[in-house]
Structure 1
Amino acid sequence: MTDEEIPEPQPRNPDDTTDDHQVELHAILTEVIQRLRTTETKVEALERAFAEVMQEETRKRSEPAPWVWFPPPATTNDPRTNVRAFIEFYNLTYVGAGRAQPIPECWDQHPGLAMEIATLAAAWRAANLGRSAHPRDAQSWHHHWRPGAIDRMVRDWTHPSCLDGEHRPAGAETRVDRFTAAEHTETTAG
């Protein structure tokens, strides 16, 4: 731009507040931007803190209580794996003395027993793992839940030969569990 192209400054009309408004608007926008940056920094700090809390919460949720003497059964996102891990833990920990019977390998072929063992496993986890674990609940599990479930397993859910390792139908007929049904639905739909 040459000197000839530069417009001459116009005399300012004292009633014209356009420049003042622009200055004021610029000041307001600058303040808004600064506040947004401050807010963004605070939100990022809160997100980091929340992630740390959630990580700690997850760790505590599956941590065994001090009275859990042996390594607890594995916990995964798959309920079937959790029940199988509990059965292995149960048979290693509780079978061998007294009236304790092993949970047979054919447990999932007896619908009543499958339901019983799933709740037995969930009750054990609730009583012994995580922040809500309490020795009163753990003792109640030993005193009430376990003996009742095993008594029903022997009396109601299985055939005596199942307890000796030879499956025979007893109780309700074998059913497809909801996980297997969902997998079947997914494979046929895809």
Structure 2
Amino acid sequence: MTDDQHDVPVPDESGADDLDDDAGIRRSRAEIDAMVERLWSAAQAHQGRLEAMHERVSRLEAREDGDTERLARWLAFPPPPAAEDPEHEGETPLFTIAHFVHYYNEVYTGRPGSRAHAIPDCWLDHPGLLAEIATLTYTWRAAHLGKHANPRDAQHWHDRWRPAFADRLATEWTHPHCLTDIHKPVGTSGLKDRYTIEQ
């Protein structure tokens, strides 16, 4: 076979005024052009509506994502101030963590002799303690604030994260003097947290 045997004849429509559509109805070039124009106009109108809807949905999602003030129904006390709150914009996460430490000490300190100790004032001097308080703070916020907060996560925080933290607070991160009297260095020291370095 040669290339000439594979040529498919193409009809010459340059002079044709009428064309058949898929249903076999003959349409003039002018009718087809008018139909295409109407379809194009309709598509442009729909495109404008779609863009307006996307913009509106984006605004609603941004408003919901920024809604850190949405309190869970099971949260008994007002949440501590945080850098993520609009009125504290510009603060670092250390602001959030420090306020959470105060909140934790007000709410979660147990009876004398229990493992539910208050977080000592020297918490910034214990790098491991600061690292754990940071995650404890933000897991608490995720479980209690915003549109994704749910009671299952809140209960998990109280049942798992807080007690495990309380154990490590007393046994791993601090010296017993830190919990009862004044700071006494123990473990690693001299590390600067990134929040302080960035200021």
TM (norm. structure 1) is 0.69
Aligned partner of 1:76 in structure 2 is 83
Task: Tell me how far 1:124 sits from its aligned partner.
Answer: 1.4
Q: Distance in 2 between matches of 1:53 and 1:147?
A: 35
- Superposition pairs for residues 12-51 of structure 1, below 5 Å? 36=44, 39-40=47-48, 42-51=50-59
Between the aligned residues of both structures, percent identity stands at 39
Describe the superposition over 1:103-131 as per-residue Cα deviations: whole angstroms up to 9, x where unpaired. 11211110111111112112212222223
Report how many aligned residue pairs link the two structures.
166
Given that 1:110 and 1:157 are in contact with CA atoms closer than 8 Å, whether structure 2 keeps it comes out as yes
Given that 1:62 and 1:75 are in contact with CA atoms closer than 8 Å, whether structure 2 keeps it comes out as no
Given that 1:104 and 1:165 are in contact with CA atoms closer than 8 Å, whether structure 2 keeps it comes out as no
Secondary structure, aligned partner of 2:134: helix
Q: What is the letter of the counterpart of residue 88 of structure 1?
A: H
Q: What is the letter of the counterpart of residue 61 of structure 2?
A: V
TM (norm. structure 2) is 0.67
Structure 2 unpaired stretches of 5+: 1-32, 85-91
Given that 1:124 and 1:141 are in contact with CA atoms closer than 8 Å, whether structure 2 keeps it comes out as yes
Aligned partner of 2:101 in structure 1 is 87
Distance 1:139 1:46, change over 3 A: closer
Q: Distance in 2 between matches of 1:40 and 1:134?
A: 38
Aligned partner of 1:56 in structure 2 is 64
Residue of 127, 130, 134 corresponding to 1:111 = 127
Aligned partner of 1:168 in structure 2 is 184
Describe the superposition over 1:147-174 as per-residue Cα deviations: whole angstroms up to 9, x where unpaired. 2212211111112222235222111123
Please identify which structure carries the higher helix content: 1
Distance 1:34 1:138, change over 3 A: closer
Structure 1 unpaired stretches of 5+: 1-24, 185-190
CA RMSD, Structure 1 to Structure 2 (Å):
3.1
Q: Distance in 2 between matches of 1:153 and 1:58?
A: 32
- Pair 1:120-2:127 in alignment: no
Q: Distance in 2 between matches of 1:41 and 1:148?
A: 53
Distance 1:134 1:44, change over 3 A: closer
Task: Tell me how far 1:64 sits from its aligned partner.
Answer: 2.1
Distance 1:57 1:180, change over 3 A: closer
Distance 1:178 1:36, change over 3 A: same
